[in-house]
A = this chain, B = another copy of it.
């Protein structure tokens, strides 16, 4: 027997309709590429999103056509988010930090029809456009007057000239909720990038989940600054959740340095911010020497890579900001776990609470997860046993775009490529990437644990642990360190620093000092690159 409830598809257009109707005058503030601060509101975004949809119709773009962006976080990007998906096209946010050849490869693979880009990326587009076979139209996110005369890019128009004259009314596409809404390529450190193709349904369900009190806890009382880029898994879904709850959005544009982010946090009464550890490191680096405090910031979600414990402590204890550890991936829209305490943890002493906060967190309702050993057997949830982390749920991919890489699932579960423990309370902790684990004498050493210890040393700015071939133990860990400017630490001092902090056999055999560790487009350390740099390195005594 079927229920007798109304059939309303879960479509992205319903988000912008809701935000305009119930939160029309709630502000959307953007630091523009031009450098100034731009102010609009949800009604303004909705009106211009409809203009974008009309402009796309004007170019006879079909339902399902991919519309690409190379853009910072800002109001125009937000308009494109809703205008593209709302009109039944597929939003393709390209990561501009990728190598130009990869940008072109991705645009071709996605068969993008239109590319909208911030003027920052004009040189990149000039470099790649000849390689992009399917792009018929280029849109520069600027006023007509700001468009240079001779860019060499064919069919280039300014965004404002293109959409500004369109009608502000539009009937949003009535589409099946499983229709594709956006596409995002993984940064794939090995092989060609593969893409997750999100649906309207998965996006709305993810938006509900992301706004929950135990996740990002988003409401109409929040002012939200996503430092995480809109080209990085839709800024973790924040634009969608904010439309759902009517939160104020504050976009940092291209200026992600500590000073710029701090000024925006303070000027716009930001209550919630989200980003990768690197950005928060820069923010604290700006605030600490100047003795600055937060006026309104209450909580941050930190994700994208494991967060150094020292940073969580600094935010909580020195600045009174609640830091939530998050974990997810492109293939998961991206949220999988958030680390919020349970009722029973509230009376624990601070150090025991911290032990929990350092984990990646509990599965959000909708996401199911398990850890399995080499033999595929599920491991116990005791916080000690570890295994490959597998996930499933309505915002997890079932396959990659165009079937790349074959069937990625194992019996319906998506293998994350992470190694993790899960404790009795359901808190998951990543112990390593499957490929970064150091296998020494038949035991596994978590490269992340080794890095975190080094990061706690006052002279260490960045640390990477990698395995090096060893004749007897198969592999032994070494730690590669970038020192903080003006501070010193010797090899022996750092090795000594490990004493008592980890098992003796897990202490790195050596320290290598470098000026920089190679970072990927999303700010993650590129260990593959690092290993190439260390190709001639030899362990002491071998």
Interface residues of A (CB under 8 A from B): 1-8, 10, 14-15, 17-18, 21-23, 25-26, 63-64, 90, 176, 178-181, 196-202, 205, 208-209, 211-214, 217-223, 244-248, 269, 333, 340-344, 346, 362-363, 365-366, 368, 392-401, 412, 414, 425-426
Across the interface, name the chain B residue whose C-beta is closest to A198.
Answer: B3
Residue contact A342 to B220, C-beta cutoff 8 Å: yes
Chain B residue numbers with a CB within 8 Å of A212 are: 208, 211-213, 219, 245
Q: Which residue of B lies closest to A182 (CB)?
A: B3
Supply 22 A–B pairs (Cβ within 8 Å), ascending by A: A1-B90, A1-B180, A2-B179, A2-B180, A3-B198, A3-B199, A4-B196, A5-B202, A5-B397, A17-B368, A22-B362, A22-B363, A22-B425, A25-B425, A212-B212, A212-B219, A213-B213, A214-B220, A214-B245, A220-B340, A221-B341, A245-B365
Q: How far is the CA of A113 from the CA of B221 in the complex (A)?
A: 48
Task: Report how many copies the assembly holds.
Answer: 2
A340 nearest CB across to chain B (Å): 7
Given contacts A8-B393, A208-B209, A218-B213, contact A3 B245 (CB under 8 A): no
Q: Which residue of chain B is the closest to A246 with respect to CB atoms?
A: B342
Once the chains bind, are A4 and B222 in contact (CB under 8 Å)?
A: no
Pairwise interchain contact A398-B208, C-beta atoms closer than 8 A: no
When distances are taken between beta carbons in the complex, the residues of chain B under 8 Å from A341 are 220-221
A178–B212 Cα gap in the complex (Å)?
24
**Which residues of the other chain, B, contact A17 by a CB distance below 8 angstroms?**
368
Query: How many Å from the CB of A208 to the closest CB on chain B?
Result: 4
Residues of B within 8 A of A2 (CB): 176, 178-180, 199
Residue ID in chain B nearest A363 by CB atoms? B22
Please state if A220 and B3 are interface contacts (CB–CB under 8 Å).
no
Contact B392 A8 (CB under 8 A): yes
Q: Which chain B residues lie closer than 8 Å to A401 at the CB level?
A: 4
Nearest CB on B from A205, distance (A) = 8
Query: Considering the chains assembled together, what is the distance between the CA atoms of A387 and B340 in angstroms?
Result: 44
Residues of B within 8 A of A179 (CB): 1-3
Question: Which chain B residue shows the least CB distance to A195?
Answer: B4
Knowing A3-B202, A178-B2, A426-B22, say if A219 contacts B211 (CB, 8 Å).
no
Check if A213 sits within 8 Å of B208, measured CB to CB.
no
CB distance from A420 to the nearest CB of B (A): 15
Q: Nearest 3 pairs between A and B by C-beta?
A: A3-B199, A1-B64, A22-B426
Q: Contact check, B221 vs A6: say whether CB atoms are below 8 A apart.
A: no
The reply to whether A3 and B209 form a contact with Cβ atoms under 8 Å apart is no
Partner of A398, one of B5, B90, B211, B269: B5
Shortest CB-to-CB span from A348 to chain B, Å, is 12
CB distance from A371 to the nearest CB of B (A): 13
C-alpha spacing A8/B393, complex, angstroms: 6
| Given pairs A3-B178, A6-B412, 6 additional interface contacts (CB within 8 A) | A1-B179, A1-B197, A3-B201, A4-B401, A213-B218, A244-B365
Residues on the B chain within 8 Å of A18, using CB: 363, 365, 368
